[in-house]
Chains A and B, each alone.
Chain A
Amino acid sequence: QKEVEQNSGPLSVPEGAIASLNCTYSDRGSQSFFWYRQYSGKSPELIMSIYSNGDKEDGRFTAQLNKASQYVSLLIRDSQPSDSATYLCAVNKGSYIPTFGRGTSLIVHP
């Protein structure tokens, strides 16, 4: 089992819809969770950090963490074509270095 798993996609949603991106992790001791957005040919950009169970909202983005079920998700409301990118989930289990998933490709079509 991979340490951090994401569906590679592509996930295709229409403009204005909610995009739901999911990530599962294997280590129950994981403490810190991050979502990064990476446009093609660019470097990853931090979108959200979440450390406690529940929801964390920032603008159109909501991160959801459920440690008991070992998953973290990212919801993007009112999706825009500019949200089309690869979304990377990263999980830190206390080694200073997060483990990254392979990413989910999101396509928002007009």
Chain B
Amino acid sequence: KAGVTQTPRYLIKTRGQQVTLSCSPISGHRSVSWYQQTPGQGLQFLFEYFSETQRNKGNFPGRFSGRQFSNSRSEMNVSTLELGDSALYLCASTPGRDGSPLHFGNGTRLTVT
């Protein structure tokens, strides 16, 4: 089985711009979660989508949004980028059952200048 695929791997953006990150889950996985990882804050949960619906949400401002398509692929959007948004953004998928472990993609490294 192919793993979780995230694109692009690297992004450099300027403050004020917006960015869209993409995630394709493992085949058959219906849940996709997004995390932000920074050296200072560790892994922070952004949101989780299951069957095209946001099922869980972390404590991030509304500039961070996401969606999931009928094929379970997911996108995450960050608008009005700030310097502090520079981070590794990780997508993870699971079948969607409670207690299933997360399987992470390789991540997208976002740098905001």
Contact = CB atoms under 8 A, between A and B. Distances in A.
Contacts, number: 53
Interface stretch (B60-68, B75-83, B98-106): B98-106
Contacts of B96: 96
Given A96-B48, A97-B33, A103-B42, A43 B105 contact: yes
A17 interface: no
Q: Interface of chain A, helix or strand or loop or mixed?
A: loop
A46 B102 CA distance: 8
A45 B98 contact: no
Nearest to A88: B43
Interface in A61-86: none
A97 B33 CA distance: 8
Nearest to A96: B98
Interface string B11-52: 000000000000000000001010000000011010010100
What interface size band does chain A fall in?
20 to 34
B86 to A, nearest CB: 14
Contacts of A1: none
Contact of A32 (B31, B99, B104): B99
A44 B104 contact: yes
A100 B43 contact: yes
A43 B106 contact: yes
A46 B103 contact: yes
A-B complex: 8 closest residue pairs judged by Cβ atoms: A32-B99, A43-B104, A102-B42, A100-B43, A43-B107, A97-B56, A49-B101, A44-B104
Interface of B: 31, 33, 42-43, 45, 48, 50, 55-56, 88, 90, 94, 96, 98-99, 101-107
Interface of A: 31-32, 34, 36, 42-46, 49, 51, 88, 90, 92, 94-98, 100-103
